[in-house]
Structure 1
Amino acid sequence: MKKIKADVAVIGGGTAGMGAFRNARQHTDNVYLIEDHNFGTTCARVGCMPSKLMIAAADARHHALHTDPFGIHLDKNSVQVNGEEVMNRIKSERDRFVGFVLEDVEAWPAERRILGRAKFINEHTLQIDDHTQIEAERIVIATGSSPVVPPKWKSLGDKLIINDDVFAWDTLPASVAVFGLGVIGLELGQALHRLGVKVEIFGGSTFGGISDPEVLAEAKAIFSEEINLYLDIDRDKTEVKLNDDGKVEVNWITKEQSGTFTADYLLAAVSRRPNVDSIGLENLDIKLDDRGVPVADPLTMQTSIPHIFIAGDVSNQIPLLHEASDQGKIAGDNAGRYPEIAPGLRRSLISVIFSDPQIAAIGNRYGDLHKQYGDEFEKKVAIGEVSFRNQGRSRVMLVNKGKLRVYADKKSGRLLGAEIVGPAAEHLAHLLAWSHQAGMTVPQMLDMPFYHPVIEEGLRTALRDVNGKLDK
Structure 2
Amino acid sequence: MSDRIIDCDVAIVGAGSAGLPAYREVVKAGLKPLLIEGGPHGTMCARVGCMPSKLLIAAAQSVADMRHADGFGIRLDAPPRVDGAAVMDRVRRERDRFVGFVVDDVEAMPPEHRLDASVEFLRDGVLRAGDGREVHARRIVLATGTRPNVPDLYRPLGDLAIVNDDVFDWRDLPRSVLVVGSGVIGVELGLALSRLGVRVRVLNRSGSFAHLADPRVRAAAVALLSPALSLVQNARVASVRREGDQAVVGWSVDGGPESVERFDRVLLTAGRDPVLEPLRLERTSMPLDERGRPRFDPATLQVQGQPVFLAGDITGRHAIQHEASDDGRQAGRNAAAWPDVRALPRRASMAVVFSDPQIMQVGGGYAALGDPEAVAIGEVDWTRQGRSRVMLRNQGLLRVYMRKADRRFLGAEMVGPDAEHVAHLLAWALQTGLTVPDMLNLPFYHPTIEEGIRTALRDAARQTA
TM-score range, shorter chain: over 0.9
Change (3 A) 1:432 1:289: farther
Answer yes or no: is the 8 Å Cα contact 2:31–2:336 preserved in 1: no
Q: Tell me the CA shift for residue 227 of structure 1.
A: 2.9
The residue identity in structure 1 corresponding to 2:5 is K
Q: For residue 392 of structure 1, what is the amino acid of its counterpart?
A: G
Matches of 1:284 and 1:117, distance apart in 2: 17
Deviation of residue 115 (structure 1)?
1.5
2:395 paired with 1:401: yes
Indicate the percent of aligned positions where both proteins have the same amino acid: 47
Task: Tell me the residue number matched to 2:324.
Answer: 324
- Tell me the equivalent position of 1:433: 427
Quote the Cα distance in structure 2 between the aligned partners of 1:155 and 1:268: 14
Q: Secondary structure at the match of 2:299?
A: coil
SS class of match (1:80): coil
Deviation at 1:172, TM superposition (A): 0.9
**How far apart in 2 are the matches of 1:249 and 1:355?**
28
Gaps of 5+ in 2: none
2:274 paired residue number: 274
Q: Which amino acid aligns with 1:324?
A: A
**Offset at residue 257 of structure 1 (A):** 5.7
Match of 2:55 in 1: 53
Q: Which residue of 2 aligns with 1:140?
A: 141
Structure 1 distance, partners of 2:319, 2:187, is 17
Question: Structure 1 stretch 222-231 or stretch 308-317: which is displaced more?
Answer: 222-231
Partner residue in 2 for 1:165: 166
Question: Given residue 205 of structure 2, which amino acid in structure 1 is its aligned partner?
Answer: G
1:306 equivalenced with 2:300 (yes/no): no
Quote how far apart the aligned CAs of 1:264 are. 0.6
For 1:288 and 1:215, the matched residues in 2 are separated by: 38
The one-character-per-residue Cα deviations of 1:254-284 (angstroms, maximum 9, x if unpaired) are: 1256422211100011111111122111122
In the alignment, structure 1 residue 213 sits paired with structure 2 residue 212: no
Instruction: Please tell me the residue identity of whatever aligns with 1:400.
Output: N
Q: CA deviation at 1:131?
A: 2.8
Q: Deviations over 1:337-356 (max 9, x none)?
A: 21222332310101101011
Three-state SS of the structure 2 residue aligned to 1:427 is helix
Partner of 1:102: 103
Q: Say whether 1:6 aligns with 2:5.
A: no
State the shift of 1:250 in Å.
1.3
Work out the CA distance in 2 between the residues paired with 1:143 and 1:353: 24
CA contact (8 A) 2:69 2:75 kept: yes
- DSSP 3-state at the match of 2:241: strand
Q: Is the 8 A contact 1:251 1:261 kept in 2?
A: yes
3-state secondary structure, aligned to 2:398 = strand
**Structure 2 residue 168 is matched with structure 1 residue 191:** no
Residue 366 of structure 1 corresponds to which residue in structure 2? 366
1:176–1:263 CA contact under 8 A, matched in 2: yes
How far is 1:3 from its partner? 1.2
The 1:18/1:327 distance shift into structure 2, 3 A limit, reads same
Cα 1:437–1:288, aligned 2, differ >3 Å: closer, same or farther? farther
Counterpart of 1:90 in structure 2 is 91
Quote the offset at 1:324 in angstroms: 0.5
In the alignment, which residue of structure 1 is the partner of 2:178?
177
CA shift, 1:304, in A, is: 0.5
Equivalenced residues, count? 461
Q: Aligned in 2, Cα 1:439/1:278: closer, same or farther, shift over 3 Å? A: same
Q: Distance in 2 between matches of 1:357 and 1:289?
A: 40
Which residue of the partner structure matches residue 73 of structure 1?
Answer: 75
Counterpart of 2:54 in 1: which secondary structure? helix
| 1:265 is the counterpart of 2:265 | yes
1:68-115, Cα deviation, whole Å (9 max, x unpaired): 1111111234x1111111111111111111111112111111222112
Find the counterpart in structure 1 of residue 411 from structure 2. Answer: 417
- Structure 1, unmatched stretches of 5+, are none
TM-score, normalization: structure 2?
0.96
Per-residue deviation, residues 181-236 of structure 1 (Å, max 9, x unmatched): 1111111110011001111111122210000111111111111233300111114x
Code of the aligned partner of 1:276: L
Q: Following the alignment from structure 1 to structure 2, what is the Cα–Cα distance between the partners of residues 326 and 29?
A: 20
Name the counterpart of 1:39: 41
| Equivalent residue, structure 2, for 1:453 | 447
RMSD: 1.4
Counterpart contact for 1:65–1:76, Cα < 8 Å: no
Say whether the 8 Å CA contact 1:248–1:263 is kept in structure 2: yes
Read off the aligned partner of 2:252 and give its amino acid letter: I
Q: Deviations over 1:348-403 (max 9, x none)?
A: 10110101111111003212223xx3xxx21x111111111111111111111111
Letter in 2 for 1:148: N
Give the conservation status (yes or no) of the 8 Å contact 1:407–1:416. Answer: yes
